[in-house]
Structure 1
Amino acid sequence: MAILQTAYIEEKFGTLQSSHPNVLLNEVRQKGFQAYQNVGIPSYKNEEWRYTPVSNLFKQSYSFSEKISTINQASVNTFRLPDSATANELVFVNGLYNPLLSNIRSAANELVIISMEEAANDIRFSDILKEHLGKSSLYLQDGIHALNTSFISGGVFVYVPKKVQVALPLYIYHIADTVQNPVLAQPRSLIYLAESAELKLVETYKTAGSSDSFTNEVMEVVVAGNAVFEYYKLQNDIAVANQVNTTHIRQIGKSYVHTVVVTLDGGMVRNNTNIIMETPGNEAHMYGLYLLKGNTHADNHTLVDNREPHCFSNELYKGVMDDATTGVFSGKIYVRPQAQKINAYQSNKNILLSERASVNTKPQLQIFADDVKCSHGCTIGRLDEEALFYLRSRGIDAAQAKAMLLQAFANDVIEKIKIESLRGHIETLIVNRLSVQIS
């Protein structure tokens, strides 16, 4: 079954709408499907996808959000992050939330986690969904995002009540079961932090099987006044695991957001990380590291939209490309006319280790206010020969010297991970990678 066939898409959409009748979700899905029909899958002619040929993925035949799976608790154990026994764990299999494989350890009055369908029918949360579900489509108007919205099913709603500081982090595992067939997974989630709430969230991705996987994810996050949201993404999958991931964060009250995205391995990986500052005084920090080998293609698109005055944002993304890898960075900072007194900084730094590796970087500022402090910049280069010579002159061999310099380069991002066990885990992955890659 070829995913690009219109008849196949229409059949699956019609089946979903009739088998999961819900006025709210049906309406959101219908709008998404109309958008998908209008714009289709983006090609290289679309400026936002110029360097990432996502249309090539749609030449593959996929099983569509397959519910039948071989994944069990033993399977999940092989993917678990460190200190998982003291974390809340959500498991998505082929894009569908699986409560039987998940472990919610926080009390129900501290952290609410229910299916999207339950939330739509719950008087406590239905208004939140009506107001906030699907707002990312105002910024992402391509067919990939619309396809996810068209097939919202098996998603999850996470709610942190007012003044609750969730002590345990929330780990989300996205597992694609490709033992039988290639799989297209489309997880969807809506996270809502009420006033003065705090949440740490970690996402990671694994493919169980050797066939191709394509994860097309959309996570929408709403952060109310005085809330604190920490977000971490770790991508370390197999070479035939492809992803288009959107994390759309709206700061609807004066709040604090901190994000770190680390991409180590995979096939074609696209990350859309958007922060929309809708209230004066918002603060956001965005960090990213793409440390690539083989043929991995990693594309990081970021957006900071300053809609109100007195906001602050700081952004640092770093990339290391080896072998025949490709890195892409496109960062946008918008400053609206009414958003005076903005401080916004953006930096992208890249190192090429191979003649076959490449990087495309495009930092952008669009400023329509006159009383702001904004800067952006990018660098592309090789390892510092003087630093290498210095280390070699101290008796350190070439491979170890290169590894030390690359670890130091990556550390500017990794040190921003505030969950100690996660930071240590990623540091170990990087050290192991470099010890093999540079030798």
Structure 2
Amino acid sequence: MSADKLQVWADTFGRRAGALPGAHVPWLDSLRRQAFERFMSEGWPTPRQEAWHHTSLAPLAAAQFEEGSAQEGVADQVRALVAAHTGHWLVFVDGAFDASLSRLGSLPEGVTIQATSEAWGGHADTVHALYGQAQDGHSTSALNLALASDGALVSLGRGVVLEQAVHVVCAVSEPRAAHFLRHLIQAQAGSQATVIEHYIGLPDAANFRHAVTRLQLDQDARITHLKLQQESPLAWHLGEIEATQAKHSYFASHSVSLGARLARHDIATHFQDERCETLLNGLYYVDQRRHVDHHTLIGHLKPHCVSHESYRGIMADASHGVFTGRILVAEGADGTDAIQRNDSLLLSRLAKSDARPELEIYADDVKCAHGATVGQIDPDSLFYLRTRGIEEARARDILIYAFAARSVARIPDESLRRHVEGAVRRLLPGGDLLEAA
């Protein structure tokens, strides 16, 4: 890695570190410096590393980002989104909490929803416990830890059921800036909630966003998490979701990636006790020469846990989709029930898909299966629709949307499902054929 490319980030850290929220907190300041030293030592990941074999960050490492060139229109975009849905809203613009656009509403006792930049008073211990360590994840994770300017803190007390969803909106007004966010979600025993992360941007923004979400689910907790990435086709997006699950907990992750020239999503959950359950569901669409990469890890570390995983990708033009899903069944994790599947639809001869389902099993009494398919529109299905009087272009659109709709249908909450349906309808070929649920 060129020293000049890393020096840019050294300058950025030197300029930002003293002004970051929590800079006065000794443990956090020390942690940020440790993380940045790790990033400078390791540099950006390269395709020589197994986890990055199909994704090169060289163009991102060479890109130049600028601060302070804000454009208008972002506030109106956010207000329209907030007005269209109920729930509790935390809004971040250019990596900083915006109280004027946020709308928290009335919260039940035992629930904390606030920006981490405002949590150092009454919730510093919670932030400390969830924030992570300098050696976690890839070198990009360390860069995020070093430069994260803000993020959402969602803390649920024992037995609390939050009826309305928590919406975390991350918008940009600076079209060529780099921003880092770190979201923290704590679900104490028996609590339940739905958290939605929206990533939106201006149509021509060439910004870089890196977002890390860390979740802790205690016994019997249930969290549904939806990440909807709708950034500009010129933007860069790196995202990580890391969850730990205690006994009888349930975690559902729905990842919908529709934007960015390059998007990389690392999603992992670790079963710390028996009878945990998780659902990892994903849908991604890329066109032109865009690139999307999903890396998932499900750690079956204890007996009698269940995981269901399904990702669907649609690639058009000369785009590239990547899926790597690893299921790790540790020694002694008997009774594991794990299913993993990845399906890719190629809409052109130049579109490319790489699928790497992986099972790593060290226990005997398990039920595990995985599979992957890559193909084009089924000619028999197309012929069937043509025989029903549907013209060819329209028939293709129907089949494209039908392929995507199977992922959308796995979102159980009707309001969430409709929200994703709207995003898909505005983007996918054939999306206008969708009828509201």
Q: Verify same fold: TM over 0.5.
A: yes
How far, CA to CA, are the matches of 1:389 and 1:83 in structure 2?
A: 40
1:81–1:50 distance in 2 versus 1, CA, 3 Å: farther
1:278 to 272, 285, 290: 272
TM-score (norm 1): 0.91
Q: Determine whether 1:349 maps to 2:346.
A: no
CA contact (8 A) 1:4 1:59 kept: no
How far, CA to CA, are the matches of 2:121 and 2:79 in structure 1?
A: 33
TM-score (norm 2): 0.91
2:145 corresponds to which residue?
149
CA contact (8 A) 2:304 2:333 kept: yes
Q: Which moved more, 1:28-37 or 1:330-339?
A: 28-37
What residue identity is the alignment partner of 2:51?
E
CA contact (8 A) 1:293 1:324 kept: yes
How far, CA to CA, are the matches of 1:120 and 1:113 in structure 2?
A: 13
How far, CA to CA, are the matches of 1:36 and 1:296 in structure 2?
A: 26
2:98 corresponds to which residue?
98
2:377 corresponds to which residue?
383
1:382–1:191 distance in 2 versus 1, CA, 3 Å: same
Q: Determine whether 1:74 maps to 2:76.
A: yes
What residue identity is the alignment partner of 1:46?
Q
Unaligned runs of 5+ in 1: none
1:418 corresponds to which residue?
412
How far, CA to CA, are the matches of 1:250 and 1:183 in structure 2?
A: 32
Deviation by residue 1:99-154 (Cα, 9 ceiling, x = unmatched): 332110132625312332443443xx44333333215954x1x2211100012332
1:170 corresponds to which residue?
166
How far, CA to CA, are the matches of 1:71 and 1:188 in structure 2?
A: 25
1:60–1:95 distance in 2 versus 1, CA, 3 Å: same
CA contact (8 A) 1:187 1:216 kept: yes
1:338 corresponds to which residue?
332
2:281 corresponds to which residue?
287
What residue identity is the alignment partner of 2:116?
M
Give 1:125-164 correspondences, 5 Å limit.
125-134=123-132, 137-138=135-136, 140=137, 142-164=138-160
CA contact (8 A) 1:71 1:93 kept: no
Q: CA deviation at 1:7?
A: 4.1
Q: Which moved more, 1:184-193 or 1:26-35?
A: 26-35
How far, CA to CA, are the matches of 1:173 and 1:267 in structure 2?
A: 20
Q: CA deviation at 1:320?
A: 1.2
Q: CA deviation at 1:222?
A: 0.8
CA contact (8 A) 1:91 1:173 kept: yes
Q: CA deviation at 1:76?
A: 1.6
Structure 1 residue matching 2:258: 3-state secondary structure: strand
1:20–1:426 distance in 2 versus 1, CA, 3 Å: same
Structure 2 residue matching 1:349: 3-state secondary structure: strand
2:318 to 321, 324, 331: 324
Q: CA deviation at 1:393?
A: 0.9
1:416–1:82 distance in 2 versus 1, CA, 3 Å: farther
Q: CA deviation at 1:27?
A: 3.0
How far, CA to CA, are the matches of 1:268 and 1:437 in structure 2?
A: 23
CA contact (8 A) 2:194 2:224 kept: yes
What residue identity is the alignment partner of 1:197?
S
How far, CA to CA, are the matches of 1:346 and 1:104 in structure 2?
A: 37
2:230 corresponds to which residue?
236
1:408 corresponds to which residue?
402
Q: Determine whether 1:87 maps to 2:83.
A: no
1:314 to 304, 308, 311: 308
Q: Which moved more, 1:426-435 or 1:373-382?
A: 426-435
1:68–1:320 distance in 2 versus 1, CA, 3 Å: closer
Q: CA deviation at 1:430?
A: 3.0
Q: CA deviation at 1:73?
A: 4.0
2:112 corresponds to which residue?
112
How far, CA to CA, are the matches of 1:335 and 1:371 in structure 2?
A: 11
What residue identity is the alignment partner of 2:162?
V
How far, CA to CA, are the matches of 2:355 and 2:266 in structure 1?
A: 15
Structure 2 residue matching 1:177: 3-state secondary structure: coil
Q: Which moved more, 1:203-212 or 1:16-25?
A: 16-25
2:362 corresponds to which residue?
368
Q: CA deviation at 1:404?
A: 1.5
CA contact (8 A) 2:200 2:230 kept: yes
Deviation by residue 1:224-248 (Cα, 9 ceiling, x = unmatched): 1111100111122221121001111
1:256–1:232 distance in 2 versus 1, CA, 3 Å: same
Structure 1 residue matching 2:119: 3-state secondary structure: helix
Q: CA deviation at 1:422?
A: 3.0
What residue identity is the alignment partner of 1:31?
Q
Residue-pair matches, total: 430
Q: Which moved more, 1:49-58 or 1:142-151?
A: 49-58
Deviation by residue 1:313-340 (Cα, 9 ceiling, x = unmatched): 0000011111111100010111111222
2:44 corresponds to which residue?
41
1:91–1:19 distance in 2 versus 1, CA, 3 Å: closer
1:23 to 26, 35, 42: 26
How far, CA to CA, are the matches of 2:101 and 2:332 in structure 1?
A: 47
Structure 1 residue matching 2:199: 3-state secondary structure: strand
Q: CA deviation at 1:258?
A: 1.0
Q: Which moved more, 1:260-269 or 1:415-424?
A: 415-424
How far, CA to CA, are the matches of 2:375 and 2:289 in structure 1?
A: 20
How far, CA to CA, are the matches of 1:392 and 1:437 in structure 2?
A: 19
How far, CA to CA, are the matches of 2:413 and 2:339 in structure 1?
A: 24
2:56 corresponds to which residue?
53
CA contact (8 A) 2:32 2:134 kept: no
Deviation by residue 1:49-69 (Cα, 9 ceiling, x = unmatched): 1211123112121136x6977
